[in-house]
């Protein structure tokens, strides 16, 4: 158990809908990262927050947004869902602002299925 928690574990929804994925980092970690794992794209970095502020952005669609709250938990919002958004979404956390010195510890993931 990495200490990173993600809810829900599974999510099934329809095209056009909006969902929110939640992540709680390990105790003491200030950075939260979101990744998407799909069969065709593999593991792709979406976005990073550090102590409430956006720190880095990757291949995140405009329909997706995220935030990190004062208690350091984070939410990833996915809207106008399409079939291609079906994937496993991981949250990870690290102690500092990331980069070369940090190890990212991953949560168990949320499996999103869009029908």
Partner 1 sequence: AQKVTQAQTEISVVEKEDVTLDCVYETRDTTYYLFWYKQPPSGELVFLIRRNSFDEQNEISGRYSWNFQKSTSSFNFTITASQVVDSAVYFCALSEPVYNQGGKLIFGQGTELSVKP
Say how far apart CA 78 and CA 86 lie, in whole Å. Answer: 11
Say how far apart CA 71 and CA 85 lie, in whole Å. Answer: 28
Q: Is 88 in the site for partner 1 (CB under 8 A)?
A: yes
Say how far apart CA 67 and CA 85 lie, in whole Å. Answer: 19
Say how far apart CA 53 and CA 75 lie, in whole Å. Answer: 13
Q: Which of 19, 33, 72, 87 binds partner 1 (CB under 8 A)?
A: 33
Candidate ranges 14-22, 36-44, 60-68, 77-85; the one touching partner 1 (CB under 8 A): 36-44
Two tokens at 90?
Answer: 């991981």
CB 92 to partner 1: min, Å: 8
Candidate ranges 17-25, 69-77, 78-86, 97-105; the one touching partner 1 (CB under 8 A): 97-105
Q: Is 105 in the site for partner 1 (CB under 8 A)?
A: yes
CB 79 to partner 1: min, Å: 23
Query: Among residues 79 and 108, whose Cβ is nearest to partner 1?
Result: 108
Contact predicate 74/47, CB 8 Å:
no
Neighbours of 57 (CB within 10 A): 11
The binding site for partner 1 (CB under 8 A) comprises 2, 31, 33, 35, 42-45, 48, 50, 55-56, 58, 88, 90, 92, 94, 96-109, 111
């Amino acid at each position: 158990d990495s200490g990173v928690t993600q809810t829900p574990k599974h999510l099934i929804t329809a095209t056009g809908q909006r969902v929110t994925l939640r992540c709680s980092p390990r105790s003491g970690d200030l950075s939260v990262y979101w990744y998407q794992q799909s069969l065709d794209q593999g593991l792709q970095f979406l976005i990073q927050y550090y102590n409430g502020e956006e720190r880095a952005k990757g291949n995140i669609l405009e329909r997706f947004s995220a935030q990190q709250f004062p208690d350091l938990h984070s939410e990833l919002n996915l809207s106008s869902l399409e079939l291609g958004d079906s994937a496993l979404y991981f949250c990870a956390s690290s102690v500092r602002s990331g980069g070369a010195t940090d190890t990212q510890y991953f949560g168990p993931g949320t499996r999103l299925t869009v029908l």
